[in-house]
Amino acid sequence: MQLLRSPNQSFEGAYHQFTGITVEPLTTVPPVWVAGGRQLEHSASPEQPKMDARVLQRICRWDGWIARPTSPPRQIAQDLAEIDGRLEKLGTTRARKGFTVAHENFAWLTETPKHTDAVAEQQAKMLAVVSDERPWDYIEAVYLTGTIDEIQRRIQERIDIGVDELFLHTMTADLGQLDLFARHLLEPFKSAVPSRA
């Protein structure tokens, strides 16, 4: 971050070194959000469903956190409790620090009102993109699936536990999905206020 603050910077580290570097235009350092935390465990996952202490330290050092797409609300809440505990030990809070909580996720929207029809369409679209190492029940547990109403409830769950920002990805470059996202997700949630610790 020093490179963005002032000219003629040098650094001598174990793996990287540089001397006399200036990045222009000089500016204020943008907020840094660190990703990581728990993810829903499954048989092909090499990671345990826990917050690594080093990741927690990095998250609390900076300005925000991005919860994993594979972390359902229950686990996001567990990670937030650990983040809040660590920030308290550091003498601050998310509110005082201006800390942002974000979550990344994936969805395929369909206006089909019947759950089984919506899920069948989503399954076809998502399994064409997602690794086959994860079974459908896992994908359904972590990504946003179901009818529009069900997906909206799942988004509200994330807001209710404290997610400030949500990064939603469509499964394909289908422009119709952007229209559906705007109508059914952006518009209804434009004034949503997350829970604060």
Residue 86 CB partners (closer than 8 Å, separation 6+): 56, 57, 59, 60
| pLDDT digit string, tens, across residues 142-190 | 999 999 999 999 999 999 999 999 999 999 889 999 999 999 999 999 9
Domain 31-189: CATH architecture, name and number where available: Alpha-Beta Barrel (3.20)
The residue extents of the domains of the chain are 1-30, 31-189
pLDDT at 95: 95
CA distance 79 to 51: 7
The pTM (predicted TM-score) of the whole model is 0.87
Count of Cβ atoms closer than 10 Å to residue 133 Cβ: 10
pLDDT at 29: 80
Residues 72-86 have a mean pLDDT of 97
| pLDDT digit string, tens, across residues 91-130 | 999 999 999 999 999 999 999 999 999 999 999 999 999 8
DSSP string for 148-164: HHHHHHHHHHHHHTT--
| pLDDT digit string, tens, across residues 188-197 | 999 888 776 5
Count of Cβ atoms closer than 10 Å to residue 50 Cβ: 16
pLDDT at 196: 66
82 pLDDT band, cuts 50/70/90, is very high
